Chains A and B, each alone.
Chain A
């Protein structure tokens, strides 16, 4: 499978716990995006990498959120001290140029 993959696909956690999600982009893609989508809404931009450089972070990304792309390949998104409002689908997309390919998402439920 040469598409964008995300792990885990589902995560249930208790409030206050830390969670980490992983995105593996298509191998030659230099751009990688993280989005958050809540029910009934379109995806909201969280952050964006070009190679290993994090070029932009949304105001939505509070201090509890951090993302890395250490070698310009896979990326991780960590949420510390999760809150119920963090429950959402976290989507990753990668592109080379302006045609993005999306991963299947990680659905986070915070109890």
Chain B
């Protein structure tokens, strides 16, 4: 079992729909990142969370430390949101390292 699990693996939606991507982790963490990866490989960090909720434009990220669960929401989705969204955690035991989920491929259809 992976230390970081994401669901769904693939998601196709119509433009304008509300999108939710989920991330569950099984290890102790000091921080969680939501990352965006476009075709061609470039990875950009969208959010870093250690508690609560963060919002940036149409993106909202939440984390529940007790339940070891985080969600990424996209409101009013747009075709330019099409990308792979990856959850990654900094583990807090021993040497910190960033461990990734397998990603969610999001396709928004006009």
User: A107 touching B48 by the CB < 8 A rule?
Assistant: no
Looking at the assembled complex, report how far the CB atom of B26 sits from the nearest CB atom of chain A, in whole angstroms: 15
When distances are taken between beta carbons in the complex, the residues of chain B under 8 Å from A42 are 4, 6, 86, 88, 100-103
A50, A91, A98, A99: the one contacting B41 at CB < 8 Å is A91
> Contacting chain A: which of B13-21, B55-63, B64-72, B89-97?
B89-97
When distances are taken between beta carbons in the complex, the residues of chain B under 8 Å from A41 are 102-103
A interface SS class = strand
Q: Which A residues fall within an 8 A CB radius of B?
A: 33, 35, 37, 41-45, 48, 50, 55-56, 89, 91, 93, 98-102, 104-105, 107
Interface size on B, residues (CB 8 A): 25
Determine which residue in A35, A50, A107 has the highest number of CB atoms from chain B within 10 A of its CB, and name it. Answer: A35
Q: List 26 A-B contacts (CB under 8 A).
A: A33-B97, A35-B100, A42-B4, A42-B86, A42-B88, A42-B100, A42-B101, A42-B102, A42-B103, A43-B100, A44-B100, A45-B99, A45-B100, A48-B97, A55-B95, A56-B97, A89-B41, A93-B43, A93-B98, A98-B96, A99-B45, A100-B45, A101-B45, A104-B41, A105-B41, A105-B42
